[in-house]
């Protein structure tokens, strides 16, 4: 198995164990673009929003920082694997252009240990589209 496939499998497994994961895709076209699909071969900007919720089991700062780092690694693996999904479907080319990641933490109820963190962010891709299927 390639490293990318292993990373993808791990990211999906960790997301299933850790909580929920969502993705939302937005394709941004220039203001003067027609309301039709973007032209094949042209590079387009595509934003994907990811949201992961992870349970921080540790109460020590160092432990929580390690758990947050593991969560960010999951986020980065999901961002990387999104290009694979894009290339399998609509993209002829795909590269990550920029990324914004936030990790706000929330305390749990008084009778529960640890905290919860939502790892949220937006990844912007440059995507060259495949020709449309007839």
Residue 134 lies in a domain: no
In a domain, 123, yes or no: yes
User: Model-level pTM?
Assistant: 0.64
In a domain, 82, yes or no: yes
Count of structural domains, the chain: 1
Q: Is residue 89 part of a domain?
A: yes
pLDDT tens-digit profile of 57-73?
877 888 888 989 999 99
Q: With respect to residue 92, please indicate whether it lies within any of the assigned structural domains.
A: yes
Radius of gyration of the chain (CA): 18
In a domain, 65, yes or no: yes
Residue 56 lies in a domain: yes
Domain of 89, in residue numbers: 3-30+39-129
The answer to whether 81 and 73 are in contact (CB under 8 A) is no
Task: Identify each DSSP E strand in 5-134 by its residue range.
Answer: 21-28, 43-56, 91-102, 105-107, 115-129
> What would the pLDDT profile of 9-18 be if each residue is shown by its tens digit?
434 444 433 4
pLDDT exceeds 60 at position 52:
yes
């Amino acid at each position: 198995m390639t490293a990318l496939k292993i990373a993808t499998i791990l990211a999906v497994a960790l997301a299933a164990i850790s909580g929920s994961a969502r993705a939302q895709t937005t394709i941004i076209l220039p203001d003067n673009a027609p309301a039709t699909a973007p032209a094949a071969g042209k590079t387009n900007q595509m934003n994907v929003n990811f949201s992961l919720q992870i349970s921080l089991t540790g109460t020590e700062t160092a432990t929580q920082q390690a758990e947050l780092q593991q969560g960010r690694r999951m986020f980065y693996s999901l961002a990387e694997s999104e290009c694979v999904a894009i290339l399998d479907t609509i993209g002829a080319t795909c590269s990550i252009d920029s990324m914004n990641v936030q990790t706000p933490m929330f305390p749990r109820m008084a009778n529960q240990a640890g905290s919860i963190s939502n790892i949220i962010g937006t990844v912007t891709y440059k995507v060259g589209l495949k020709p449309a299927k007839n």
